[in-house]
Amino acid sequence: MSKKSKVLYIDFGPGFGGSVVNLSQLLTVSDELNVEPYLLIDHDDQKSKEILQPFTKDFYYVKRGFNFKFGDKFIFESKVPWLKKVLILFKLIIQIFLNIPFYVKSIRFGLKIKPDFIYCNNIVSIDEVIISWFLKSKVICHAQRDFYNSSITRLAFGFVDQFVAISQYVKRNLLQAGVKEEKIVVIYNGVSIKDADKMVFQDFDHVKEKFNFNGLKVGLFGCLLKWKGQDVLIDAVNIFMSRNRSSPVKFYIIGDSPGGDNSYENFLKNKVRENGLAESVEFSGYIKNVLSVMKFMDVVLHTSINPEPFGRVVIEAMSVGRPVIATNRGGPVEIIQNGKTGLLIEPGNPEALCEALESLLFNESYRLYLGRNAQDNVRLRFNFEMSILRFRKIFTLVEHDKI
């Protein structure tokens, strides 16, 4: 086998979430990709460390400097285009100045490694541009979220050699930002089928005990964030229980608050209490092995009110044969064939969510039909093992200046 390429993975982001899980997947197949992985990270959360650090040659956490937020509200609300541009540029210069120690430490780590190329595990910003410029390295951007299409963002995109978009939805956003189509390849996130088949049986007794409810179970998985729409589920449960008071159904909200901000979580718990739903809705917190829990659910939900760039929860639930109800914006539209491999509904519509729940919870044969089709769909289209060769090809082309 040829000499392994040194890759500097950079994850500057909000912390644990779908993009971190996707990065962990890539790190675990470093041998298949023929790379030597190094990781530079700016968030110090334990969950990310647990799934990333064991698979890296070297792991470096660098603390970001002062985040200059003064004037953000004024800049956002400004109606004068030229003034907004001047203010954004002024803020950027101050932000760079305040973060000089952060850049110095990051660049020192990179110089020690001398990477063959840099892999940015999300949307590239000026931070990654500065680091890559000093290291004189090629850059791959794994675009996994929405972004503000500003002149600074477009400037940063100009330093990227190859974009990997996680959906056609993200690709369209990149094109609107002026990225040339030949620079973009779409590789859907995937589930490792061989690992999924094993993981559903891990922690079986613990999961069985924790979710020991003698009735139908509905799970909503994800970080507790306003745009994830957990409050829409609570409104839908309120409608559902008013119509089906005697039905043995329990709704689980599975996930925790990222970054230590519990304000939305507290809002959700208060909403449950105020509506008298404490017997019907349970907050289960963060669970490491979500696949085993999903297997215990009868229906899995995705309630994001903003377009989801992809929707990892959707394919995870489908991989274990569970029917999914998801909102019809962003990535889920590319994953689910409505009425065949799952159900799609309007975002922010508790009535529509309630009706979709009723159509599945009271029709076991329909649930099983969607679950079987969903599992077949994931194995055919979202099998991570199939993505490894595509990533390896991209890595090779970027390293050898063929892109």
Q: Are 35 and 395 in contact (CB under 8 A)?
A: yes
Q: Which pLDDT score, from 0 to 100, does residue 1 have? A: 55
Indicate whether 143 pLDDT > 80: yes
Q: Both tokens of residue 369?
A: 């039909």
Q: Both tokens of residue 194?
A: 């061989």
Q: Which pLDDT score, from 0 to 100, does residue 261 have? A: 86
Q: Both tokens of residue 306?
A: 């903003």
Instruction: Give residue-wise pLDDT tens across range 64-121.
Output: 876 655 555 555 566 677 777 777 778 788 888 989 999 999 999 999 999 999 999 9
Nearest to 164 by CA among 115, 119, 117: 119
Instruction: Give residue-wise pLDDT tens across range 1-31.
Output: 578 999 999 999 888 989 999 999 999 999 9
DSSP assignment string, 294-355: HHH-SEEEE--SSPBSS-HHHHHHHHTT--EEEESSBTHHHH--BTTTBEEE-TT-HHHHHH
The DSSP 8-state label assigned to residue 5 in this structure reads E
Report yes or no on whether pTM surpasses 0.85: yes
Nearest to 52 by CA among 16, 81, 76, 83: 16
Q: Both tokens of residue 208?
A: 């069985």
Beta strands across the sheet bearing 162-165: 58-61, 35-41, 5-11, 117-120, 138-143, 162-165, 184-186
The residue that leads in pLDDT, 11 or 401, is 11
Instruction: Give residue-wise pLDDT tens across range 264-296.
Output: 999 999 999 999 999 999 999 998 889 999 999
| Alpha-carbon gap, residue 24 to 178, rounded angstroms | 30
DSSP 3-state assignment of 381? helix
Q: Which pLDDT score, from 0 to 100, does residue 6 have? A: 97
Q: Are 315 and 291 in contact (CB under 8 A)?
A: no
The residue that leads in pLDDT, 320 or 73, is 320
For 38, the enclosing helix (H) or strand (E) is: strand 35-41
Strand-pair category, 58-61 with 117-120: unpaired
Domains, the chain: 5-64+99-190+384-399 (3.40.50.2000), 193-381 (3.40.50.2000)
Q: Both tokens of residue 135?
A: 């290291």
Instruction: Give residue-wise pLDDT tens across range 163-220.
Output: 999 999 999 999 999 999 999 999 999 998 877 777 777 777 778 888 888 999 999 9
For 184, the enclosing helix (H) or strand (E) is: strand 184-186
| Alpha-carbon gap, residue 59 to 9, rounded angstroms | 10
- Give Cα separations from 323 to 33, 90, 310, 336, 377 (angstroms): 33, 50, 17, 10, 12
Q: Are 303 and 224 in contact (CB under 8 A)?
A: no
Lowest-pLDDT range of 44-53, 175-184, 192-201, 249-258 = 192-201
The whole-chain average pLDDT of the chain stands at: 92
